[in-house]
A = this chain, B = another copy of it.
Amino acid sequence: MTPQPNPPDPDPAPSARTRNAAATREAILQSALVAFTQHGYNGVGVREIARAAGVTAMLVNRYFGSKEQLFAEVVDVVFSGSTLITDDLPSLGRFAARGLVASEPRSVDGFVLMLRSIADPRATEILRRAIDERQRQLEAMLSGAHAHERAALFLALLLGIRAMQHMLASPTLAGAGEVVTDHLEALFDVLVERR
């Protein structure tokens, strides 16, 4: 006569996926990706991530070792995708400018993830490696004098815009139009065309 003696479990656990390791791991990763992007490394707990994935908190550590390692894998995944940088040098500035203003708020973006998690030292260490690689990649494209410095400034500009847009929810830059795009392109072009 004890079917569910304890109702304090507000966790429906979809359970559509039963005993599928790969799918479960992927579900946790996706859940973590969204959660970390929205609330930052410190702003979300493993229980919350697990619940959104339909599993228990312990499975997170089982599959990823620790919260920190999970975060590192999330960072890897996010920065594998295209983040506002194209291979075509002449249109680099235009691409970044349009990408910045065109993105809807819901999208997961590497720079937003970065900014939201930048307070925690462990997260920062992981993020530093990711941005370093991004900088090297950009530096190789921006050939010419002071490519190193210009690449760093390019990334700084990307980060700053994202900070104003998502973190501080600037109405000016969040729902931006032609004017902002044009100014942004001008800024990026200073760094791209500089020689």
**What residues of B have a CB within 8 angstroms of the CB of A173 in the complex?**
149, 152-153, 156
B179/A190 in contact, CB under 8 A = no
Q: Are A156 and B160 in contact (CB under 8 A)?
A: yes
Contact segment of A45-53, A54-62, A77-85, A115-123: A115-123
Question: A115 and B40 in contact (CB under 8 A), knowing A168-B128, A186-B190?
Answer: no
Tell me the chain A residues, 106-157 only, with Cβ under 8 Å from chain B.
Answer: 114-120, 124, 127-128, 131, 135, 146, 148-153, 155-157
Task: Find chain B residues with CB under 8 A from A120 CB.
Answer: 43
> In the bound complex, how far is the Cα of B150 from the Cα of A149, in angstroms?
23
Residue contact A167 to B42, C-beta cutoff 8 Å = no
Write the residues of chain A forming the contact surface with B, with a CB cutoff of 8 angstroms: 39-43, 114-120, 124, 127-128, 131, 135, 146, 148-153, 155-161, 163-164, 167-170, 172-173, 176, 179-180, 183-184, 186-187, 190-191, 194
A91, B41: Cα distance in complex, Å: 39
B-chain residues with CB within 8 Å of residue A119 when the two chains form the complex: 39-43, 116-119
Could you say how many copies of this chain the assembly holds?
2
Complex Cα spacing A11 to B167, Å: 37
Question: Which listed residue, B117, B128, B167, touches A124 by the CB 8 Å rule?
Answer: B167
Residue of B nearest to A148 (CB): B172
A156 & B163 in contact (Cβ 8 Å cutoff): yes
With beta carbons under 8 angstroms apart, the residue of B41, B150, B159, B180 that contacts A160 is: B159
Chain B residues near A127: list those with CB within 8 A. Answer: 168
Contacting residues, chain B, for A161 (C-beta < 8 A): 153, 156, 160
Q: Which residues of chain B are near A176, meaning CB under 8 Å?
A: 149
Quote the shortest CB–CB distance from A128 to chain B (angstroms). Answer: 5
Q: How far is the CB of A37 from chain B (nearest CB, A)?
A: 11
A170 and B158 alpha carbons, distance in the complex (Å): 15
Specify which chain B residues have a CB less than 8 angstroms from the CB of A159 in the assembled complex.
159-160, 163-164
